[in-house]
Structure 1
Amino acid sequence: MLHSHLPWLANHGRWPVGEEWLYQSWASSYLPVFEVLRGLAADGYRDQMSLGITPVLAAQLDDPHCLSSMYEWLADWQLRSMEAAVSRDADRRELGHREYRSSAHAIGEFETHWQHGGSPQIRSLIDSGVIELLGGPLAHPFQPLLDPRLRRFSLREGLADAHSRWRYDPAGIWAPECAFTPGMEREYAAAGVRHFMVDGPSLHGDTALGRPVGDTDVVAFGRDLSVSYRVWSPKSGYPGHAAYRDFHTYDHETGLKPSRVTGRNVPSDQKKPYDPSRVAAVLDKHVDDFVGHVRERLIAESRRIGRPALVVAAFDTELFGHWWHEGPMWLNKVLRRLPEVGVQVGTLAGARRDGYVGEPVDLPASSWGSGKDWRVWNGPQVQHLVQLNAEVVETALDTVDKRLAGAQTRDRVADQIVRETLMTVQSDWPFMVSKDTA
């Protein structure tokens, strides 16, 4: 299960967290991950993953400004690589040659597959049967803290956005931040959502089956932390291995990333040059470790519950390539290796269809953030944002009601009020404050 999301970044500056964030993720994650999925589809693989694309990201992948700017960004990447390739420094020359090859490949991918936007790519993956596409609310709000009226509107219109872009109606969603409050299951049912994601602790760690929520037939699937943290743990996850490329260290003359992780506590200026020849053996080791752990987990969980169990390994798409340079290669190898050891790979929709569903459960208020509660989005550090968001939403809805009273046509001012309100209450802003990431 992969969840693809970025907040709206177009026309909000470049470095460090404006449009640059979009183009880095596009070049490093979306291009190679989609290439992996196309390769799997071409080789006859089906039902390989549930792939979430948030409406706010889909809009940027289709936006003419973002498309032309992405092309410019790729060309700039290639120019920076050429500058490095003629450096007097041997390590920088090697970096330049390596990055030139990577940028040339990315430009070829973009020119061949992406020049008309992301929607044709996403639609082709849907048609190939290699993915189940998951939708979501319009602008990734933290739903439990949202006025129920705006929450229902955001979900309904987010699903409508998927239909308008891809002529496809998602049966499932990745709920933003896996956030839940009791009663939302009925809103999901009313909107036509049949399954959604929560974090494992929401189901008390019992993630071996999906669970209908309350008195509805809406199924919650829980992320298996035992498996997912094999990759994602900041302390012991695979991306932190010394041989992999370091995400945080830049060569500031070229903006390229020259170093390997080297060690967890090694300062950036002491990290050693990245050496691709070190990667293959480490990558194969991590593929085998993950595949073996998934198989053992499935066997143990099936024995525990007395019936075939499932394991949901869930990650942000941007982990693969953007944060973890070698991630797309790892993903490709894992998906091809799992069937070889007897593991059936599938989607959430396929799990539901094939009966991997247990008894109903009453879900608590929860998220996948720190503490598995809401503290990241409503804790002491962001109370000013919680209050501000409530005031913005109340003012916006009151104003829209007044403007639309008796109106017979669409009102562009009302549209813009709602649009900017949704952008304001995105979950990303309090997350960035709580985590001190900007």
Structure 2
Amino acid sequence: MTARSEEGTFCLVLHSHLPWLPRHGAWPVGEEWLYQAWAHSYMPVMDLLRRFAEEGKQDVLTLGVTPVLAAQLDDPYALRGFHDWLGHWQLRAQHAADLWRGSDPLLRRLAADEYTTASATVAEFESRWRHGFSPILRGLADSGVLELLGGPLTHPFQPLLDRRVRSFALREGLADAALRTGTRPSGVWAPECGYTPGMERDYAAAGVERFLVDGPALRGDTARARTVADSGVVCFGRDLDVTYRVWSPKSGYPGHADYRDFHTWEHAVGIKPSRVTGKNVPPHDKAPYDPDRAARRLRHDVDDFVTTVLARLRALRHRDGGRALVVAAYDTELYGHWWHEGPRWLEGVLRALPEAGVRVTSLRGAAEAGHVGGPVELPASSWGSGKDWRVWDGAQVADMVDANARLQRDLLATVDRHRDEYRDAARDQLLREALLALASDWAFMVTKDSAAGYARERAHAHIARFDELAELVGSGEAASAADRAARFHARDYPFGRLDARAL
């Protein structure tokens, strides 16, 4: 798969992230979303990579896993809860078989397929996943089948962080990845692809060699990676012409009428029984899911994507006179969670591209193969709406931005006042609350009006706990501060080893 070819080089980058979900279902859909993504995306994609590793394939793709997601998939509570959820999935499939007995043959087939898949997933979990995600990742990284990317600890929008806080979050995020997988990543997928000029110096200081930006940050010229300013750190840009073929703000393969519909549920059994049918078809009028129709469409869309990549590489080679690079990047959750057929499409593409003469490799492999051009001055950018910062720094979230700026000032002032003292659990918890308040998810959800009330509630709760602890620490009430910190930490906060003095 990594042999040189005449057509050019293709890199697939996947980014795995869900916000830190407190226990006991505080998320609007409880832990259901986490477990769905685990069963339908993370497990199938890791199984695909495991099989590729057994075939001896190297550098198949680049995978980013945020520290907050890794922590959740390693957490004993989440592991127990997910195991229960898988068992309930089996029961729901059995109930669907009873409910749909005598119904449309496609529904009866779907119930049987759901039970078979649920049972296989239980067996896979019990044999390979009972000790968490990190052993899986470590084995895959050690095999060389993928390149792992790291990132800052709690998925903050880095351009809006104080530089000290930003550097600390990045160092701790990379250290967390090393602790879990045995390898300190040399590349990062920055949260939201957020960038502000000068961040490359922070990357260089942390030992980061490469990172991802969205295509417009390079003015669409993504045919090679570029060094950033005078740092020597390399940035890769998403090729939006190719990436958007799969998934864009307006269209993409998963929306085709033949694929399984994500939004339509049979609530009595918690199963999605329909195909998309049509964009304007109401849920009760959607046709039953037909896996044979979906399979035929899948083959078409694999061929279409390969044709698209080949055309893009040939056009770039004609323009530039040398081997070209295409980087496509997506959320991992697209493959299986949002798009039921996604893992099978992914395998089809990763097998078909080399057969068509395209070198498939990781970002690391592309850099080693020489797909790096001269220096570039990057503008402030992201991969959000407008490719600027408006999602995380717009009028809708101006109050949150101001609150986060104040929080960071108070955090640094508190840490600086106690820098030479002993380690203190209250100050460590103060730091955890601050980092979780600064997560990019809250502003994103408010701007996009996706569970906006919940997002504001989460951000406010972390800031309120921070303020309570900061007041107790500042007034010298050590015993009360320690008690409150213990109560907050008992709510299952990640990253127990954080030491505020390191900030």
Matching residue of 1:420: 433
- Rounded Cα–Cα distance in structure 1 between residues aligned with 2:32 and 2:430: 27
TM-score by length of 1: 0.97
- Pairwise CA distance, 1:15: 6.1
Aligned counterpart, 2:98? 86
- Which of these residues, 438, 441, 450, is aligned with residue 437 of structure 1? 450
Mark the runs of 5 or more structure 1 residues left unpaired by the alignment. none
Q: Which position in structure 2 is the counterpart of 1:98?
A: 113
Q: 1:244 touches 1:260 (CA, 8 Å); kept in 2?
A: yes
State the 1:396 CA deviation.
2.4
Residue type at the aligned position of 2:74: D
Q: 1:270 Cα deviation (Å)?
A: 1.3
Indicate the residue corresponding to 2:421 in structure 1.
Answer: 407
- Given residue 54 of structure 2, which amino acid in structure 1 is its aligned partner? A
Name the aligned partner's letter for residue 73 of structure 1.
Answer: W
Code of the aligned partner of 1:162? A
Q: Is the 8 A contact 1:234 1:240 kept in 2?
A: no
- Partner SS, residue 328 of structure 2: coil
- Structure 2 counterpart of 1:42: 54
Query: Is this contact kept in 2: 1:78–1:100, CA < 8 A?
Result: yes
Cα distance change, pair 112–313 in 1 and its aligned pair in 2 (3 A): same
Which residue number in structure 1 is paired with residue 174 of structure 2?
A: 159
Letter in 1 for 2:441: D
Deviation for aligned residue 1:88: 5.0
Q: Kindly provide the amino acid, as one letter, of the partner of residue 406 in structure 1.
A: D
Deviation for aligned residue 1:437:
1.5
**Which structure is larger by alpha-carbon Rg, 1 or 2?**
2
Give the 5 Å matches for 1:18-417. 18-87=30-99, 90-91=103-104, 92-402=107-417, 404-408=418-422, 410-417=423-430
Judge conservation of contact 1:55–1:138 (CA < 8 Å) in 2. yes
Name the CA distance, whole Å, in 2 between partners of 1:79 and 1:16. 23
3-state SS of 1:359 partner: strand
**Helix, strand or coil at the partner of 1:314:** strand
How big is the shift at 1:164? 1.0
Q: Are 2:21 and 2:27, in contact at CA under 8 Å, matched by a contact in 1?
A: no
SS of structure 1 residue aligned to 2:119 = helix
Q: Is the contact made by 1:245 and 1:261 (CA closer than 8 Å) also made in structure 2?
A: yes
Amino acid at match of 2:53: A
Q: Give deviations 1:213-267, integer Å, cap 9, x for gaps.
A: 0011100100000110000124330000101000011111111111110011111
Distance in structure 1 (CA, Å) of the matches to 2:81 and 2:412: 34
Task: Report the Cα offset of residue 12 of structure 1.
Answer: 5.3
Worse-matched range after superposition: 383-392 or 330-339? 383-392
- Percent identity of equivalent pairs: 61
| Cα contact 1:10–1:60 (8 A) shared by 2 | no
SS of alignment partner, residue 312 of structure 1: strand
Whole-Å separation in 2 of the counterparts to 1:15 and 1:75: 21
Distance 1:179 1:331 in 2: 26
Q: Secondary structure, in 3 states, of the residue corresponding to 1:393? A: helix
Deviation at 1:309, TM superposition (A): 1.0
Please report the RMSD computed on the Cα atoms of aligned residues, expressed in angstroms: 1.3
Deviation of the 1:189 alpha carbon: 0.4
Secondary structure at 1:216 match in 2? coil
- Residue type matched to 1:333 in 2? G
Deviation at 1:395, TM superposition (A): 2.1
What SS does the corresponding residue of 1:287 show, helix, strand or coil? helix
For the Cα contact (< 8 Å) 1:55–1:161, is it kept in 2? yes
The 3-state SS of whatever aligns with 1:360 is strand
Equivalences for residues 3-14 of structure 1 within 5 A: 3-11=15-23, 13=25
Give SS of 2:360's match. Answer: coil
Q: Deviation at 1:46?
A: 1.0
Q: Distance in 1 between matches of 2:193 and 2:48?
A: 26
8 Å contact kept, 1:87–1:93: no
1:311-345 CA-partner distances (Å, limit 9, x unpaired): 00101000000000000000011101100000000
Deviating more after overlay: 143-152 vs 229-238:
229-238
In the TM superposition, residue 83 of structure 1 has moved relative to its aligned partner by 1.1
The alignment covers a number of residue pairs equal to 436
Please give the alpha-carbon distance, in whole angstroms, between the structure 1 residues aligned to 2:218 and 2:30.
36
Q: AA paired with 2:434?
A: T
- Per-residue CA distance 1:94-136 (angstroms, 9 max, x = gap): 4322211111111111111110000110001101111000000
Q: Determine the C-alpha separation between the residues in 1 that align with 2:149 and 2:76.
A: 24
> Using the alignment, how far apart are the partners of 1:16 and 1:77 within structure 2?
20
- Most deviating of 370-379 and 269-278: 269-278
Partner of 2:212, secondary structure, is strand
Over 3 Å counting, the alpha-carbon distance change for 1:201 and 1:12 in structure 2 is farther
Q: Distance in 1 between matches of 2:29 and 2:400?
A: 20
Work out the CA distance in 2 between the residues paired with 1:377 and 1:17: 23
Which whole-Å deviations, capped at 9, do the CAs of 1:17-39 have from their partners, x for residues lacking one? 43211111101100100011111
